[in-house]
Amino acid sequence: MKPRALLSVSNKRGIVELARELVALGWEIVSTGGTAEALRTAGVAVIPIEQVTGFPEMMDGRVKTLHPKVHGGLLARRAHPGDRAALTEHGITPIDLVVVNLYPFRETVAKPGVSFEQAIEQIDIGGPSMLRSAAKNHQDVLVVVDPDDYPKVVGAIKDMARGVSPGLRKELAAKVFAHTAAYDAAIHGYLTRDAPGWPERITVALERRQELRYGENPHQAAALYATAEPGIRDLEQLSGKELSFNNLLDLDAGLLAVAPWSGRGADRAACAIIKHTTPCGIALGRSPREAYERALATDRTSAFGSVIAYNVTVDRGTAEAMRELFVEVVVAPAFAEDAVRVFQEKKNLRVVRLPVGEATGWDWKRIRGGFLTQERSRLEQVMDETRWKVMTKRAPTDVEWRDLRFAWGAVGAVKSNAILLARDEAAIGIGAGQTSRVDASFLAIHKARQQGHDPKGAVL
């Protein structure tokens, strides 16, 4: 009897090549719907799933593989006499390899304008069922959910001397359960996203994006994981050496710092200079270069070895202005090509393209044995001037209002206790992370004077 593979995929990448390799190795291919059609078109001989089950696909494809002749072939233990007898009694052919990936639910609900009905139709039922059956019986059934694993699997099948190792079988099965858990978490998140109050259970699916050289300190191992939300998963590094754990922390802090001015046009360039996750300089400017020069003037000493964040495209002139400063990372939503070429003159400088935007989802804080979660502070609330009240005897002038508006947007990124002095939409002194507001005030005034700024007349 030929070994049998069941192929049913939403993502068709590499499936034709895999099927051809299997056929060349003497396997027979069972397939469903669009996968079967793609294989036939490519000249691969296919047994349709209807021929196996004796039932046609029905209900617009909702029912295809939910059948004992499929799941019996997946769950039968080859060394178990009772299972072998059941296969013979019911005319079920064992299935030795399952290659399945699922309807693109997460990608579908991320698209604008998708209706609830459209989202529901992208909840895969048969695919997860086959994957879980095969993964449970991985000692006898190879199961593959990731197209990147196709070459590894073919190589193992070809290695007739050793066969497919128990270790590889277990690795692929574990990958399946991680995949289906993340899939279910995405569905749960979608169905509960508008529910009032806090859900009884929260499932967060994380995907490893990168192993890091080390963590906050050299003795700590570290890695970067991403959720399905917009953010770090959209990061594109254009040049420079590998990002570190601390680079990523500061990069995120920089995007938070310029977020109040995101999407407001190139005439409102915002630049934040970050050290140890807090701004040591932040300013607005008519151009990204002017914003940088004004942010740098906040505290030139602390800016050494910093991460610099922007809300607008970085041009060549801005890149040239940074030549004399040692910078770890520059992050912005876009870069002019000639700006990137200037930055590439410094091999270690990391240049990162990442949209600013406002952070979505809940805010999480790790504590021993659990997490605290809260709603994120939304910019539309923080920057809503209709909620502001004048508590002083004298109302601010128009110029003071402008600077207060800037300072209020900027101080949100400074670690508490936080005091920020501002003039002309630029910080001139920052006192961060003090246990006393009085000390934070003294520090902000001291730093302003240290850098040649006169704090008199600045807003606080």
Residues 31 and 158 in one domain: yes
Give the Å distances, CA to CA, from 302 to 299, 348, 415, 430. Answer: 6, 19, 16, 11
Residues 15 and 158 in one domain: yes
Other beta carbons within 10 Å of 224: 17
Tell me if 361 is assigned to some domain: no
Catalytic residues: 136, 276
For residue 358, the tally of other CB atoms under 10 A from its CB is: 16
Residue 137: asked if its preceding bond is cis (omega within 30°), the reply is no
Would residue 31 count as lying in a domain?
yes
Identify whether residues 290 and 156 lie together within a single domain. Answer: no
Q: Give the 3-state secondary structure of residue 366.
A: strand
> Which residues, in sequence order, are bridge partners of residue 327?
306
In the numeric block, the tokens 């190139």 are attached to 266
User: Last residue of some domain: 334, 353, 372?
Assistant: 353
Q: How many CB atoms lie within 10 A of CB 437?
A: 13
Whether 359 is in a domain gets the answer no
Q: Could you report the per-residue pLDDT of 16-51, keeping only the tens digit for each?
A: 889 898 998 889 998 888 888 888 988 888 888 887
* Per-residue pLDDT tens over the stretch 230-276: 788 888 999 999 999 999 999 999 998 998 888 654 458 999 999 99
Domain residues for the domain of 276 are: 234-353
> Could you give the CA distance from residue 345 to residue 337 in angstroms, rounded to a whole number?
13
Structure tokens at 373: 């979660």
pTM of the model: 0.79
Residue 338: CATH number of its domain: 3.40.140.20
Give the count of beta carbons closer than 10 Å to the beta carbon of residue 57: 16
* Alpha-carbon dihedral 373, 379, 384, 388, rounded to 10 degrees: 60
264 and 340 share one domain? yes
Same domain, 248 and 154: no
DSSP output for 356-372: -----SEEEEEETTEEE
Any long-range contacts for 372-375 (C-beta under 8 Å, 24+ apart)? 373/198, 373/202
CATH code at position 136: 3.40.50.1380
Dig out the tokens for 140 from the structure.
């006898």
User: Is the same domain home to 106 and 52?
Assistant: yes
Instruction: Indicate the residue among 353, 388, 412 that finishes a domain.
Output: 353
One domain for residues 184 and 286: no
Out of 353, 370, 386, a domain closes at 353
Contact 421, 385 (CB under 8 A): no
Q: How many domains does the structure of the chain reveal?
A: 2
> Is 218 domain-assigned?
no
Same domain for 179 and 239? no
Same domain, 181 and 328: no
Please, are residues 459 and 400 in contact by the beta-carbon 8 Å criterion? Answer: yes
Q: Is residue 272 part of a domain?
A: yes
Q: What SS3 state is found at 327?
A: strand
Which helix (H) or strand (E) element contains residue 236? strand 236-239
Helices (H) and strands (E) in the chain, counts: 17, 17
Same domain assignment for residues 118 and 176: yes
The answer to whether 431 and 441 are in contact (CB under 8 A) is yes
Q: Are residues 17 and 166 in the same domain?
A: yes
Q: Which of 48, 47, 52, 51 minimizes the C-alpha distance to 71? A: 52
Write out the chain's pLDDT in tens, 460 residues.
788 899 998 888 988 889 898 998 889 998 888 888 888 988 888 888 887 777 777 676 677 777 888 888 888 888 888 878 887 888 888 899 999 988 887 777 777 888 888 888 878 888 888 899 999 999 999 999 999 999 998 888 888 656 788 888 999 999 999 989 988 888 888 888 777 788 888 888 888 888 998 999 999 999 999 887 778 888 899 999 999 999 999 999 999 899 888 865 445 899 999 999 999 999 999 999 999 999 999 999 999 999 999 999 999 999 999 999 999 999 999 999 999 999 999 999 999 999 887 777 788 899 999 999 888 777 777 777 778 888 888 888 888 888 888 888 888 889 889 999 999 999 999 999 899 999 999 998 989 899 889 888 887 8
Q: Are residues 174 and 256 in the same domain?
A: no
Asked whether residue 217 is domain-assigned, the answer is: no
Q: Is residue 29 part of a domain?
A: yes
Q: Could you tell me the CA-to-CA distances from 318 to 222, 302, 339, 457 in Å, in that order? A: 33, 19, 8, 30
> Using the 8-state DSSP alphabet, how is residue 250 labeled?
H
Q: Evaluate whether residue 293 is within a structural domain.
A: yes
